[in-house]
Amino acid sequence: MQGPNADKFFPVHQGMIWSLVSSSFAVLHPLLMVIGFILISGEAILVHSWLPGPRSLKKSVHLCLQGVALASGIFGIWTKFQGEDGIVANFFSLHSWMGLTCICLFAAQWLMGFMSFWHRGEMRAVRVKVLPWHIFLGLYTYGLAVATAETGLLEKLTFLQANRNLSKRSPESMVVNSLGLSLALLSGMVIFAAVSPKSHNLQSHREVQVGYCRSFCYLNVNEQWAAGFSMFWYPGGSISSRASLLPWHVFFGIYTYALAVGTACTGILEKATFLQTNHVISRYSTEAVLLNLLGMLIVVLGGCVILAVVTSMNGKGKAYIPLEYTMQHPSV
């Protein structure tokens, strides 16, 4: 186009195109992160349970699915960098810090899995030592991905509500809250299925393993505490009922603790986003950095606590197993 109106047309046209591209990137980021790090990664975690065939096939499918999940996550983060603010401006919130930690752990997990299990570059003794850490870090990274998705949903929702673009009780707010709760339940079910006993392992450790996979769908925190008080501290139940309830109590306790950690992180992020939106604090202020550090400290502390618990389950300590259970099941 030529003439006096050309200079007026092209800036508007370019602005419209950039607005459409930015809107597409804004939609792609949460979509790719949820599909990659939560849905595809969840399927990869469970591939050893639902996929028939030899073990080598399961390992190959697991590696490929995790690779697709990692590629989806990297591309999802790349779309976030394509906005007008650039790269640095997207690393001011707890959500971004958790996301960066999550993708680094995910990439390290994938490389470790490739080098140790699929590539088979190490001896069997090394793979046996690495496997428990690979499983724990894989489940921890998956839980961290779910918590990061929760903080992302809350950050966006709080921003819209603080700017009066969305009311607190609007249908959109309910949908976002329902999506967040669905992700929390989905993570519980994935871990539930991942630690479920396989059909060929039901003889020696059936009661211990099966308990990691149940009662979180049926008990709330008060009932969990009441069950622990009535069955273990105050021995009101029979030996068999205590022995069967113990693993359920352990698993649901760990899940509730992880949920509490995620809830604390979302609460910190909600407060920080509200203060930043109302210009009480800036994005890069000392207060904002301290809030982010506090959230990351809670995440690391949660991982250390869970690691200490599951390490004791693997033989470094059996204080959580009652004497009568050990007498009935000496192999545990």
Q: In the chain, what are the domains? A: 30-328 (1.20.120.1770)
Could you give the C-alpha distances from 149 to 107, 120, 153, 180, 289, in angstroms and in order? 18, 33, 6, 8, 20
Tell me: pLDDT of 290 over 80. yes
Task: Give start and end residues of each alpha helix (H) in the chain.
Answer: 6-33, 41-45, 47-50, 55-80, 94-113, 124-162, 171-194, 206-210, 221-228, 239-277, 286-311, 323-328
For residues 199-216, average pLDDT: 37
Read off the pLDDT of residues 74-124 as tens digits, 9 standing for 90 and up. 998 888 877 656 666 678 889 999 999 999 999 999 988 888 776 665 667
DSSP line for 98-136: HHHHHHHHHHHHHHHHIIIIIS--S-HHHHHHHHHHHHH
Average pLDDT score, the chain? 76
| Residue 224 in this model has a pLDDT that exceeds 90 | no
Residue 236 vs residue 6, higher pLDDT: 236
Q: With beta carbons less than 8 A apart as the criterion, state whether 143 and 192 touch.
A: no
pLDDT reading at 311 higher than 80: no
pLDDT of residue 20: 52
- CB distance 146 to 117 below 8 Å: no
- The CA-atom distances, in angstroms, between 152 and each of 131, 146, 223 are 31, 10, 31
Phi, psi of 255 (to 5 degrees): -65, -40
Per-residue pLDDT, 173? 86
Q: Residue 148: is its pLDDT beyond 50?
A: yes
Of 2-6, 201-205, 263-267, 270-274, the poorest mean pLDDT is in 201-205
pLDDT at position 60 is 87
The answer, yes or no, to whether residue 218 has pLDDT greater than 60, is: no
- Residue 312 and residue 318 in contact, taking contact as beta carbons nearer than 8 Å: yes
With beta carbons less than 8 A apart as the criterion, state whether 113 and 166 touch: no
Could you give the percent of the chain with pLDDT greater than 70? 68
- Range with lowest mean pLDDT among 26-40, 198-212, 264-278: 198-212
Q: Tokens 């059909």 label which residue?
A: 199
Closest among 208, 196, 197, 211 to 248, alpha carbons compared: 211
More confident residue, 148 or 232: 148
pLDDT band at 156 (very low <50, low <70, confident <90, very high): confident
Residue 46 has pLDDT above 70, yes or no: yes
